[in-house]
Amino acid sequence: MKVAMGQFAVAREWQRNAQTCIQLMQQAEQAGAALLVLPEAVIATDIQDSGLAVREAQPLDGPFVTQLLSASRQSALTTLFSVYVPDGPERAINAQIAIRDGEIIARYDKLHLYDAFEMQESKRVTAGEAIPPLLEVSGMKVGMMTCYDIRFPELARRLALDGAEVLVLPAAWVKGPLKEQHWEVLVTARALENTCYLIAVGECGPRNIGSSLIVDPLGVAIARAAEGPALVFAELDAQRIQSVRHRLPVLANRRFNRPELKV
């Protein structure tokens, strides 16, 4: 399966961001990709105004998503990204959606909110309450996570046990001391410990690192972006997953699913 990572810097104006997303969708489809992953919170952002993203939140039938759905009609490309949707006065939900052929085919509300490194996403954002669904793309099962979720290995493991062969992670990974190293270590670990592919796409720009990354089931980085806007492609191989899981059967060798184990 050919996949694409669409890395860009999210602007203040939702109209501009919608156009960027649509252009990346068109380019990915023209290149033959079956799956495109975009960053987190792509409607609007401003590093000088931390509340802008929530104030600009739109319902999923609002103009931003509607434009992207319209652009996806009669296309087999599956595109994933996250957006803030309203959840009452001054609050929103960080919702990741998958769209294909003019429809929203899956939704996941971010479970783990970024209350760390002197930031507090929960101040304005309501956490999700449900395990993400799996969706199928070109015969491969895909699990959804969002940004800070990568620091919680139990979510990736649950998705792998549910059958995920590919994990996707739209993100806006904030710069800081050793943060690029955290990103690479965590993305690599979640792929390797679950013997799956992981597609992690970060927003770039003045606040965030970019550095989008695809890691294979043995922890090998097979595609990367640098710090600027980019559209990067890679091929995912279902046989590679089967081969790795045969040689490294960590999912089958788990002990915590054994009733005789005392914990």
What does the alpha-carbon distance between residue 245 and residue 260 come to, in Å, rounded to a whole number? Answer: 24
What does the alpha-carbon distance between residue 211 and residue 115 come to, in Å, rounded to a whole number? Answer: 22
Q: Active-site residue 147, yes or no?
A: yes
| Count, residues in the chain | 263
Write down the catalytic residue from 21, 29, 56, 110. 110
What does the alpha-carbon distance between residue 56 and residue 260 come to, in Å, rounded to a whole number? Answer: 52
Write down the catalytic residue from 40, 56, 121, 203. 40
Write down the catalytic residue from 147, 165, 203, 204. 147
Q: Active-site residue 175, yes or no?
A: no
What does the alpha-carbon distance between residue 122 and residue 125 come to, in Å, rounded to a whole number? Answer: 5
Q: Active-site residue 204, yes or no?
A: no
Burial (CB count within 10 angstroms: exposed 0-12, middle 13-18, buried 19+), residue 260: exposed
Report the catalytic residues: 40, 110, 147
